[in-house]
Structure 1
Amino acid sequence: MMHAQGVILLAAGGSSSVIDTIGWWGAVAMIGTAIAYGMTLLFFSYRAPRSRRRAHEAALRMIDGLENADQMGYPTMVVLVPCLNEATVIEASIRRLLAIPTRQLDIVVIDDASDDTTAAVLDSIQDPRVTVLHRIPPFARRGKGDALNDALRHVRRRYRDQPAEGVVVGVVDADGRLDPEGITTARLAFLDPKVGAVQLGVRINNRFHSLLARMQDMEFVIFTEIFQKGRRHLGSVGMGGNGQFVRLSALNSLGERPWSDSLTEDFDLGIRLNASGWTNEFSAEAVVHQQGVTRLRRLVRQRARWFQGNLQASRLIGHTVREQHGRTRTDSLYQMLSPYLVLATSLLTASFVVALVAVVLAGSEGGERNWMWLLLAYVLAFGPALIYGIRYWRVEKKNGFGFFRGLLYSHLYVLYSMLGYIVGWWAMLRMVFGYTGWQKTKRESESHEAIVGTGAEIKVHPA
């Protein structure tokens, strides 16, 4: 996360003469911007924009007297589930979607030429609400965006007689477990005709059994509870690859193939939707639970892929400058430039470590040193993380997560965030040498205990 990685900049600059005056003031500007940005979004995140509150209240009045929002029959919801070699998790995810108490929900599963037993598992699910699209080589395995675009052609044909603004296309990953109220939550948001897309919150369902998974859960909660909620005030809410819902008419406004071939097609989609005249909305009232990576090597590979995708998004800078305006444009540009700021931060953090070692060695030789700057370095490096950790505790305390444990994990989270330095330079080297192919992150088999945090027990039966 940029807030955790950036706050070390000022301490690095203020503690060593290695960095010249220009570099020091550059560090001051970067750290000042990072802190101001994070604290501003933190402040905004506590309350929805006034226009969104009015729209939500109007939607509630519209359904007043009905048993639930689903009785309105608006809009039709279609959930796309792309999968490649997902035999260990796909059936439980589809069963979870089928168990949601709602009407007018269709599920389209895209089997992207899996070579395990995924196809057989999908074909065993005999339910009229489920359609399985089997992609065949050589027209398969060309990325998630390509698979979603192919499925979208099927959706357009199937619903060609319905108004596009009355059809919503969702995306749930193969390991995604959508909350039972997720469809209704998204449907309520789309009662506002200005809303073109809705992103739900994301949680890690195996966070109770792995410290690495817990760090990922903190990352997603901090991002969604603070940054996504705050960006509602800036008009720059982003889309994620899991738990996104987009109005068909909004997708159509982006062309025949709205999802890009980027490694982070979801990030690209959010940027382009923000420039299309639609409103991107975020809701934490329902979340989608996904599997966290529990092995460091796999996590580094996954995040390097994401980082490279964010680097690829720089090709949208010109489009953003032309099509977006005001605060939305400024924040979108900040998001696209964040990977480069992380790389710069890594160099200055390395300078800080060198300076720290030099000061310690000098002190061991009997020289007098003022160590107050170390306290300043601690406050700048860990202060924002402690504030965010308290926010995480407030979200997670209902599951027995203690306050002091949250403070401890906030320190670990700063160290976890520094993985961005490693994955960032790896991704940059791949960009320089033109490598774009990545091995898919392998799923882990799940037990009942690993998914108890998803809010409802999942029982998997043969069809």
Structure 2
Amino acid sequence: MSWANSWLIAITGYAILLAWPISTLVLVWFAVRYNGTHRAKVINKAVAGGDGRPQHFWVIVPALNEEAVVANTVNAALRLRGPAGTLARVLVVDDGSDDRTPEVLSAIDHPRLSVMRRELPNARQGKGEALNAAYRFISERTAEAGVSPERVVIGIIDGDGQGSENILVEVSRLMRDTKVGAVQVQVRIRNRNKLLGAVQDLEFGAIVDACQNLRDVLDTVGLGGNGQFSRLSTLQALGSAPWSSCLVEDLELGLRMHLGGVSIRYTSRSSVTQQAVVDVRRLTRQRTRWAQGNMQCAQYLMRLFSSRRIARTALAEMLHYLLSPWANAMVTVAIIVMGASGTAGLLIGHPVPFLPTWAVLAESGAIWIAVTTFPGLLWAVVHRNKRGDEGLSRMLVAALAYPAFLVLGLAATYRALGRQASGRQSWAKTERLVEEPILQPVAA
């Protein structure tokens, strides 16, 4: 290897080494300074004086073999109240379940609960198609009742999801601004008593929360699969099938809304909780699906570049989000090349300039370990200060495990590249854990 190539690899390594902790420091500073509830004074005035507050709420629960959790999810959704006691109607889409999900649902007798049973061959064509069927059902009911679609909000709560008591009130507050077409609430992990659950809550409760708050400022908030709320009129503007067959149909929906000039807000004042995936193999499978879905959304890059509705700063953030799986893959290759070239040089007696001795190699490894551990420790402190529902020592332990969590994510990225290249799209469902039952609310 030439000296020029050796120094190029060294410079690349140092750039990679410094980029992550520096970007983390900036994001942590923002997370500490920004309370996540207001974008700007002009937006606050629009919220305070707007007349777009919704009057009707529907909560869609997509269910495929959710016998372990669907009763709790439905009962929790039926308890949700909006402003002035407005009650949500719940629509469960049973997407061809072959476990006891139909029996569990039939045992819930409540006037505000509707169950849509989809049978094969129409069933099991992806979460997006199940949501589209529910959306069309709600559109028909809304038209029959003579209600304006602008006053109707559709929320998505996954089969294992449970919304906080104030979730409809907070969504309604933000949607008083008529420019707001959708709201994404914070996502938290319920079963964080185990290490993998705690690490995932560190991710959602601190890191993702800070990123979404930054996007809220830039008006680039992304929709998540759980805890998204959209005006019916906003969805209708996207046609009869707002959700696609993309593996991350929520991300694609958010991109289509932004391209259409729709404003999406994020709030951490309310939240939806979900179960952590506490098995490494299943967690890798989940993250592979997410990474592959991001790759599929790369088809929107040219439309984002050419859009006149998206500011340059907002465009930069969107591109970062869409390109991150590809960037992660390339960074991993660079790290492997650096380590392999340095080690090989020492073994054959021709060390490269940036790793002249085994001692320097060991020091470099120690620095890399410190750098990869540092961001997680910062986020543990942020999580403790902002959430306050977990001890600092527990979050610090989760932070120490965070680098391994990132390695798992890199492995998932490469699996996603392979699946995307081979055209594989099918996925096994994420298994749920049985929880203590939630009592059914009194009919009202």
TM-score exceeds 0.5: yes
Cα deviation 1:250-270 (Å, max 9, x = unaligned): 212222211111010011112
1:338 aligns with 2:318: no
Equivalent-residue separation in structure 2 for 1:157 and 1:237 (angstroms): 29
Q: Which deviations, in whole Å up to 9, do the C-alpha atoms of 1:178-203 show, x marking residues without a partner? A: 11111111111111111111111111
Aligned position for 1:68: none
Q: Does 1:186 align with 2:171?
A: yes
Indicate the residue corresponding to 1:77 in structure 2.
57
Deviation at 1:242, TM superposition (A): 0.4
* Greater Cα offset, 79-88 or 367-376: 367-376
Contact persistence 2:55–2:86 (CA under 8 A): no
Distance 2:318 2:50 in 1: 33
Residue 80 (structure 2) pairs with residue 100 (structure 1): yes
Please identify, of 317-326 and 345-354, the stretch whose mean Cα deviation from structure 2 is larger: 345-354
Q: 1:422 — aligned with what?
A: 411
1:88-237 mapped onto 2 (5 Å cutoff):
88-101=68-81, 102-160=85-143, 161-208=146-193, 210-237=194-221
Q: State the identity %.
A: 31
Measured in 2, the distance between the counterparts of 1:232 and 1:30 equals: 27
Contact preservation (8 Å) 2:53, 2:175 = no
Q: What displacement does 1:100 show?
A: 2.3
1:50-79: per-residue Cα shift (whole Å, max 9, x none)? 65455446645789xxxxxxxx98331111
How far 1:282 moved relative to its partner? Answer: 0.6
RMSD between superposed Cα atoms in Å: 3.0
Contact 2:212 2:222 in 1 (8 A): yes
| Corresponding residue to 1:239 among 223, 235, 244 | 223
Report the residue type matching 1:198 in the other structure: V
- Contact preservation (8 Å) 1:179, 1:288: yes
**CA separation of 1:119 and 1:179: change in aligned 2, threshold 3 A:** same
2:337 matched to which residue of 1?
A: 351
1:270 maps to what in 2?
254
Sort the Cα spacing of 1:368 and 1:439 in 2 relative to 1 into closer, same or farther, 3 A: closer
C-alpha change, 1:356 and 1:49, in structure 2 (3 Å) is farther
The alpha-carbon distance between structure 1 residues 442 and 374, as it changes in their structure 2 partners (threshold 3 A), is closer
1:248 corresponds to 2:232: yes
Instruction: After TM superposition, give the deviation of residue 248 of structure 1 in Å.
Output: 1.5
How many angstroms does 1:109 deviate by?
0.7
The offset of 1:407, in angstroms, is 3.0
Task: Tell me which amino acid in the other structure corresponds to 2:98.
Answer: D
1:69 maps to: none
Q: Is the 8 A contact 2:53 2:177 kept in 1?
A: no
Length-normalised TM-score, structure 1: 0.83
**8 Å contact 2:157–2:228 — kept in the other structure?**
yes
Counterpart CA distance in 2 for 1:216 and 1:396 is: 14
In the alignment, the residues of structure 2 paired with residue 372 and residue 416 of structure 1 have an alpha-carbon distance, to the nearest angstrom, of 23
Aligned to 1:292: 276
Evaluate the alpha carbon distance shift between residue 32 and residue 329 of structure 1 in structure 2; reply closer, same or farther with a 3 A threshold. farther
Shift of residue 359 of structure 1? 9.1
Q: 1:339/1:367 Cα in 2 relative to 1: closer, same or farther (>3 Å)?
A: closer
Task: Single out whichever of 271-280 and 348-357 deviates more from structure 2.
Answer: 348-357
Amino acid across the alignment from 1:92: N
State the 1:23 CA deviation. 4.0
Local SS of the residue matching 2:395 = helix
Q: Distance in 2 between matches of 1:201 and 1:270?
A: 16
Aligned to 1:12: none
Q: Which residue of 1 aligns with 2:311?
A: 325
Cα offset, 1:32, TM superposition: 5.3
SS at match of 2:92: strand
Q: For 1:347-401, what per-residue CA distance to the aligned partner results, in whole angstroms no more than 9, with x for missing partners?
A: 22323554676699899xx9674465456434432222222221122234434x1
Name 1:8's counterpart in structure 2: none
CA contact (8 A) 2:28 2:382 kept: no
5+ residue gaps in structure 2? none
* SS state at 1:193 partner: coil
Aligned positions of 1:357-396 closer than 5 A: 369-370=359-360, 373-374=364-365, 376-396=367-387
Distance (Å, rounded) in 1 between the aligned partners of 2:50 and 2:329: 49
Moved more, 169-178 or 96-105: 96-105
Preserved contact between residue 59 and residue 191 of structure 1 (Cα < 8 Å): yes
The equivalent residue for 1:435 is 424
